[in-house]
Structure 1
Amino acid sequence: MVDKIREAMGTYADALKLRATRQEVIAGNMANADTPNYKSVDFDFSQALRQAKTGGKSGSTINTAATHPAHLVKKGKGVNGSDLLLKFREVEKKSLDNNTVDMDIERAAFSENTVKYEAASQSLSGLVRTMRSAITGN
């Protein structure tokens, strides 16, 4: 029984950690919007969450899909301290200083990630309330 509770809560906890990490990555992109030669990065949230759910059994790194091995350029911290490899975000236009940050894309990604973080947080809170109700009978 405890394992099922831990598993259910663990998925939400992993999702919250990864959403927070993604928020930091996107915020970093936005902060570097005026930095010459800065390349916008991101990671595949679904793949990162799948790996977190398996406990990182498929390796210690989260490897996102890329069209070229050199696209995997930075490391962040994933769930349980595993490495989270970030890839360059594909953009249609570059600025004159070779910066690839598109503020419209970054704002949209930031907003979407915020909404999904809040949804996962509320789902976890609901699960805790349900368990508390089941235990206390109220």
Structure 2
Amino acid sequence: MTVSFRDSIALHANALSLREKRNEILASNIANAATPNFQARDFDFEAELARASGPAASQGSGVDATLGYRVPVNRSLDGNTVELSVEQMEFSENTLRYQTSLAFINRRISGLMTAIKGE
């Protein structure tokens, strides 16, 4: 059974795309922390990765996440639902996981290059 290059890194490539999208959303939440009535957004990463990597995912469609609203622990008086400490923690964790996915892809490519060269 032959495995294509795309298939060998698809999971991590989808993870990178979703992590990038999530970073943009979290950065937007942080940037709007002082905007009255702003509603913090996010998505369930694991569910979206399963959907993007599952058998129903089409080959060329890319990754698109379904956004939801974050439920705040302490809603502010101006209606803003951004909790800066939560958003910063989520952003930091997501960035670390992005870097980890990138490292997995780099290792996979390095392993494939070694196999191609016959070393």
Contact 2:23 2:91 in 1 (8 A): yes
What aligned pairs does 1:27-46 form with structure 2 within 5 A after superposition?
27-46=27-46
Task: Give how far 1:6 is off.
Answer: 2.3
Give, as a single letter, the amino acid of the residue that structure 1 aligns with 2:8: A
Alignment RMSD, CA only?
1.9
Q: For 1:12, what is the secondary structure of its paired residue? A: helix
Correspondence 1:109 to 2:109: no
Q: For 1:37, what is the secondary structure of its paired residue? A: coil
Match of 1:23 in 2: 23
Aligned length in residues: 117
Q: For 1:20, what is the secondary structure of its paired residue? A: helix
Match of 2:61 in 1: 80
Task: Give how far 1:83 is off.
Answer: 4.5
Correspondence 1:120 to 2:98: no
Q: Percent identity?
A: 38
Q: CA distance change for structure 1 residues 24 and 97 in 2, over 3 Å: closer, same or farther?
A: same
Unaligned 5+ segments in structure 1 are: 61-78
Unaligned 5+ segments in structure 2 are: none
Give, as a single letter, the amino acid of the residue that structure 2 aligns with 1:129: S
Q: For 1:80, what is the secondary structure of its paired residue? A: coil
Counterparts of 2:35 and 2:76, CA distance in 1: 10
